[in-house]
Structures are given as C-alpha cells and as structure tokens.
C-alpha cells in the first residue's frame, strides 16, 4: 500500500487491521450460518418438490379418468363457476440480512365443500378426486415456491459473503500486515539512523569541549 511511513499511519493501519480481522470473523460466521440454513432449505425443497410432483401426477391421473367418462364440454361446464377463491399475501422476513418471502393464503370461504363448483349428480368421482388433490396441493405448492425463492436469495448472499471473506482474507488483511511490517521496519531504520547521528554529534561536542574522543 502506498502510504507514508509515519507513526500516525502505523496506528491507523493497526486499527484498520483489527477492524478487518473482526469483520472477517463475523463474515465467516455469517457465511457458515447461511450455509447451514441454506442446506436445511435445500432438503426441505427436495422433499416438497417430491411431494408436490406426486400429488400433481395423482391429480392428472384422476383427471384423465374423468375425461374418459365425461366429454370436455361437461368438464368445462362443471368447472366454469368456481365457488371458492384464494388470495395470496406476500410478506418478507429477515434471515441473516436476507429478506426472504413468506406466502400466506386466505380463502374467501371456510367451507371445505366449496372447492367443488358443481353438483355431484352428473359428474365423475374421478373429477372430484382431481379437484380435491389440486386443492390439497395448494399450501405445499406455495411453500415450495417460497422455499425455492429463498434458496435463490440465500445462494446469492452466500456467494457475495464468500467473495467478501476471500477479499479480506487474501487481499486486504495481508496488505495491511505487509504495510505495517514495512512501516515498522522504516521507523526502526529511522530510529537507528537518528541514534547514530546523535552519537556522532555527541562525540563531536565532547571532542570540542574536552579535546578528546570517546
């Protein structure tokens, strides 16, 4: 680092080095905690995706059976006027300085039977099962979206934190340490030079005053 080798600069650099070391430790702790939480979310994401995909396959299988006994026009007519709707409320929470989303659903009716917008007399039971599977999957589907988005945000924060840790560990801290050593050596060299000059001046003064050499 291009600095003046003075005691004031040495003191400033030592203070910066101490701050950099504390920041390095805090960032390493943050990175490790982010990694721990990230891995938990990855495992939850894997389990949720498997569960959601299984339910979607089962819903599709029941819908295919319903289509085998009902024509498309009757299915469309049965599903044309839904009785229940859902609203998604999106908020955020802070996890290790990462703002991750939180999704909450709110149904317009509390009656579980309102998921069926038709009477049961002229529809297939497989259509009922398909609708039920799709209704049951909604909370897991939203949680999956929440976890996947959180994983993306945390992965980006982990990478940013990792770069900062590496910059401190491999660039800034070594530069501070090297510059402190350089300034300390220069100051010691200056002190030795000053001591030598003082001794020479003293010898000259003694010689002049007492007409002898030490």
Q: What is the model's pLDDT at position 211? A: 62
Give CA 193 to chain center in angstroms: 54
Distance, CA of 115 to CA of 161 (rounded, Å): 46
Q: List, in order of start, the domains of the chain with CATH numbers.
A: 24-158 (1.10.287.3240)
Residues of the chain with pLDDT under 70: 1, 210-214
**pTM summary value:** 0.74
Give CA 131 to chain center in angstroms: 37
**Cα-Cα end-to-end distance for the chain:** 43
Asked if 10 contacts 184 with a C-beta cutoff of 8 angstroms, the reply is yes
Q: What is the model's pLDDT at position 195? A: 78
Distance, CA of 12 to CA of 3 (rounded, Å): 11
Q: What is the model's pLDDT at position 214? A: 45
Distance, CA of 116 to CA of 133 (rounded, Å): 12
Question: For the chain, what is the radius of gyration of the CA atoms?
Answer: 37
Q: What is the model's pLDDT at position 212? A: 53
Asked if 142 contacts 103 with a C-beta cutoff of 8 angstroms, the reply is yes
* Backbone CA torsion sign across 12, 14, 17, 21: negative
């Amino acid at each position: 680092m291009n600095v003046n080798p003075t005691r004031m600069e040495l003191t400033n650099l030592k203070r910066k080095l101490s701050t950099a070391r504390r920041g390095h430790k805090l960032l390493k702790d943050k990175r490790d905690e982010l990694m721990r939480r990230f891995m938990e979310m990855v495992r939850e994401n894997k389990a949720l995706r498997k569960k959601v995909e299984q339910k979607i396959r089962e819903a599709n299988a029941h819908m295919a059976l319903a289509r085998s006994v009902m024509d498309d026009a009757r299915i469309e007519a049965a599903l044309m006027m839904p009785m229940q709707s859902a609203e998604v409320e999106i908020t955020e929470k802070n996890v290790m300085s990462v703002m991750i989303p939180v999704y909450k659903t709110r149904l317009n009716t509390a009656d579980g039977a309102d998921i069926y917008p038709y009477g049961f007399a002229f529809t297939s039971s497989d259509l009922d099962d398909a609708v039920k599977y799709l209704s049951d999957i909604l909370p897991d589907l939203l949680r999956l979206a929440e976890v996947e988005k959180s994983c993306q945000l945390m992965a980006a924060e982990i990478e940013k934190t990792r770069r900062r840790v590496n910059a401190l560990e491999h660039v800034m801290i070594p530069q501070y340490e090297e510059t402190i050593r350089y300034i300390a050596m220069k100051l010691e060299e200056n002190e030795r030079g000053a001591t030598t000059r003082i001794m020479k001046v003293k010898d000259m003064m003694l010689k002049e005053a007492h007409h002898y050499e030490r």
